[in-house]
Amino acid sequence: MDNLRDKYIDLIANAGSESALEDLRVQAIGKKGEISLQMRELGRMTPEERQVAGPRLNALKDEIASALAAKKEALADNALDERLRSEWLDVTLPVRPRRQGTIHPVSQVTEEVTAIFADMGFAVAEGPQIESDWYNFDALNIPGHHPARAEMDTFYTHRAEGDDRPPHVLRTHTSPVQIRAMQDQGAPIRIIAPGRVYRADYDMTHTPMFHQIEGLAIDKDISMANLKWVLEEFVKAFFEVDDVELRFRASHFPFTEPSAEVDIRCSWEGGTLKVGEGDDWLEILGSGMVHPNVLRAGNVDPDNWQGFAFGMGIDRIAMLKYGIPDLRAFFDSDLRWLRHYGFAALDVPTLRGGLSR
């Protein structure tokens, strides 16, 4: 038994791979292994002999098994050390300045808006860009023949011949994320949903793909007053001004009642936009109190809950804040444009560190 022990302990110590270890395991303590065969001999021994040999064999088996396990771990550690040695990378190398990229204004503004609303307790929610007709329209209180459907210049996907289900759409706004978020999280809820939206439209201020940010706040006693305060705080923080006057203009959206479009006081003196002063008004978003039908579509009981929603064009407020005249250039991938309007990659906007520096 001592010979057996010395033999296997030695072999295990010198094994160079996991598969070699496995071979040794089979050879020693596998079903037909040397030690297992010895254990079968126990049956032929006298009770006295068995009393001595049995425990010793068991102890030997355990010793071999733990030697195997320890060696296996050591091999794995070595492999890891070897990888750490060979895959080493010097991350302190400076970037090559001529290849430095920039952050696109849409990404920058999305981060800015998110930072502002996060500070007011809004979490980010997402939904798919290819959306069912129900989420994009019906759930938002826009039934089949509502004129809003035609106004949206919707892109429809193709259904196979004979498939009568309504086609999916490229979402025309971020509002369907309201429904998905309510279904997923219930009330109370406070979310913003930034993302891509699509409409068949193309001129200085319209591209077939653009970006919106949706806001939704539902609780027991949320009113228009809360909406007004939240939007004022947002506009002041976003345009980085101390005071700003907002104008709530009565409007109509199927998914809110009452509805308001929001304008900010501004001036265009000398061709540049100044927010918060002057005699002009600039429309920046649509909003209102969420319609009971919309709450119901999100499985939220309108007898217990109420709240506000708003929707805003990210590209549009980016153009306003950073004085970018043509929306189409946003998506031309022209390096000169990107270098001119882009932002430094490591300047992540925060309320404390500054939004746009």
CB of 106 to ligand DAH, least distance (A): 17
Alpha helices (runs of H) in the chain, residue ranges in sequence order: 2-14, 18-29, 34-41, 47-86, 105-119, 133-136, 147-151, 176-185, 224-239, 292-297, 314-322, 335-341
127 touching ligand DAH, by CB under 6 A = no
Q: Using omega within 30 degrees of 0 as the cis cutoff, is the peptide bond preceding 188 cis?
A: yes
Instruction: Among 176, 195, 254, 288, indicate the residue that binds ligand DAH (CB under 6 A).
Output: 288
CA dist., res. 217 & res. 121, Å (int): 10
Among 53-61, 183-191, 218-226, 306-314, which window interacts with ligand DAH (CB under 6 A)?
306-314
Cα 255–261–267 angle (5° rounding)?
160
Q: x-or-dash pattern for ligand DAH, window 142-181, by CB under 6 A? A: -------------------------------x-x------
Among 8-16, 30-38, 303-311, 314-322, which window interacts with ligand DAH (CB under 6 A)?
303-311
Among 159-167, 236-244, 296-304, 305-313, which window interacts with ligand DAH (CB under 6 A)?
305-313
**Cβ of 356: how many Cβ atoms within 10 Å?**
14
Q: Which residues contact 111 (CB under 8 A, 6 or more apart)?
A: 348, 349
> What single string gives the DSSP state of each residue in 262-309?
EEEEEE-GGG--EETSSSEEEEEEEEEEEPHHHHHHTT--TTT-EEEE
Nearer to ligand DAH, 35 or 181 (CB): 181
Which one, of 293, 313, 301, lies nearest residue 238 by Cα?
313
Instruction: Among 105, 194, 286, 307, indicate the residue that binds ligand DAH (CB under 6 A).
Output: 286
Nearer to ligand DAH, 253 or 343 (CB): 253
Among 31-39, 57-65, 203-211, 282-290, which window interacts with ligand DAH (CB under 6 A)?
282-290
Among 1-9, 264-272, 284-292, 330-338, which window interacts with ligand DAH (CB under 6 A)?
284-292
CA dist., res. 3 & res. 40, Å (int): 18
Instruction: Among 136, 154, 287, 293, indicate the residue that binds ligand DAH (CB under 6 A).
Output: 287
CB of 153 to ligand DAH, least distance (A): 11
CB of 305 to ligand DAH, least distance (A): 16
**Cβ of 342: how many Cβ atoms within 10 Å?**
17
Is residue 106 within 8 Å of 342, Cβ to Cβ?
Answer: no
Q: Which residues inside 240-279 make contact with ligand DAH, applying CB under 6 A?
A: 253, 255-256
Would you give the DSSP letter of residue 164? -
Q: Which residues inside 182-221 make contact with ligand DAH, applying CB under 6 A?
A: 214
CA dist., res. 94 & res. 141, Å (int): 54
Retrieve residue 197's tokens.
């939206």
CB of 212 to ligand DAH, least distance (A): 6
CB of 224 to ligand DAH, least distance (A): 12
Nearer to ligand DAH, 258 or 278 (CB): 258
Is residue 333 within 8 Å of 339, Cβ to Cβ?
Answer: no
35 touching ligand DAH, by CB under 6 A = no
Binding site for ligand DAH (CB under 6 A): 173, 175, 214, 253, 255-256, 286-288, 309-311
